[in-house]
């Protein structure tokens, strides 16, 4: 399993839905090593109906960010840029909620605050309570208390 190979969401679904736990583990480790190129396909499979795929996609996103951060600033910056995309245009509520959470934890430069504020305003306007809570929590982590 090569972290440099190109992965799309179908590859990840196939890898994560394998029966053998050790095979899933190998795919998981490769995916979390992908850094920024792994974000979009992982966001796309968050709503999978297969609980194995859904669970692994959720935790892989966090671990991918950890991996990128431990690799260095450059790698993390690229990941954060993809998370900003997910926050604005993520394919589902799940993906946007998770992007907010990850930015809250990993955006050391706090550049994502602008995107989070915008997401919060939009979520409140559209009465998307789940997204509003996620954005509020992320902003809180970044040191900004937001009234609900």
Partner 1 sequence: MQGRERREGNVKRVDRSRREFLKTALGGAVGLTLLSGRGRSFSPNERIVVGHVGVGGMGNSHVKWFAGMKDVDIAAICDVDRSHLADTMAQLKERRPDCRVKGYTDFRRLIERKDIDVITCATPDHWHALVAIHAFDAGKDVYGEKPLSHNLAEGQAMLRAMEKNQRLFQLGTQIHAGDNYHRVVELVRSGALGKIEKVTIWKEMGPSDIGYPVQQPVPAGLDWDLWLGPAPYTEYNPKRCHFTFRYFLDYSGGTYADFWCHIADIVFWALEPTGLKSVEARGERAWDSASDAPAWLEADFEFENLTLHWRPSIPDLPGAEGKGIGACFHGSKGSLICDYGSRQIRLGKEVIQDLPDVPQCVPRSPGHQRNFLDCVKNRNLPESHLAYARQMTLPMHLGLVSWRLRRKIFWDCHQERCIGDEMANRLLSRPGRTPWMLG
Residues that bind partner 1 (CB under 8 A): 21-22, 24-25, 28, 50-52, 55, 58-59, 62, 66-67, 69-70, 97, 101, 104-106, 108, 129-130, 132-134, 136-138, 140-142, 148
* Tokens encoding 36: 């920024």
Nearer to partner 1, 6 or 21 (CB): 21
> In the complex, what is the shortest distance from the CB of residue 55 to partner 1, in angstroms, rounded to a whole number?
4
Sign of torsion over alpha carbons 66, 67, 71, 74: negative
Q: How far is the CB of 145 from partner 1 (least distance, A)?
A: 9
8 Å CB contact between 66 and 100: no
Looking at the Cβ atoms of 126 and 140, the one nearer to partner 1 is 140
CA distances from 100 to 4, 18, 52, 134 (A): 27, 29, 23, 6
Q: Could you tell me if 87 and 121 are in contact, meaning their C-beta atoms sit under 8 angstroms apart?
A: no
Whose Cβ is closer to partner 1: residue 24's or residue 78's? 24
């Amino acid at each position: 399993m090569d972290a440099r190979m190109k992965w799309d969401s179908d590859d990840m679904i196939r890898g994560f839905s394998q029966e053998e736990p050790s095979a899933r583990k190998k795919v998981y480790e490769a995916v979390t090593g992908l850094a920024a190129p792994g974000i979009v396909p992982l966001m796309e499979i968050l709503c999978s109906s297969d609980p194995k795929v859904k669970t692994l996609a959720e935790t892989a996103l966090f671990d991918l960010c950890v991996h990128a951060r431990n690799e260095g600033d450059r790698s993390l910056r690229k990941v954060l840029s993809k998370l900003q995309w997910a926050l604005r245009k993520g394919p589902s509520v799940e993906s946007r909620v998770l992007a907010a959470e990850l930015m809250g934890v990993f955006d050391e430069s706090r550049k994502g605050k602008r995107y989070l504020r915008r997401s919060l305003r939009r979520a409140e306007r559209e009465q998307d309570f789940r997204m509003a809570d996620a954005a509020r929590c992320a902003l809180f982590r970044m040191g900004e208390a937001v009234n609900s």
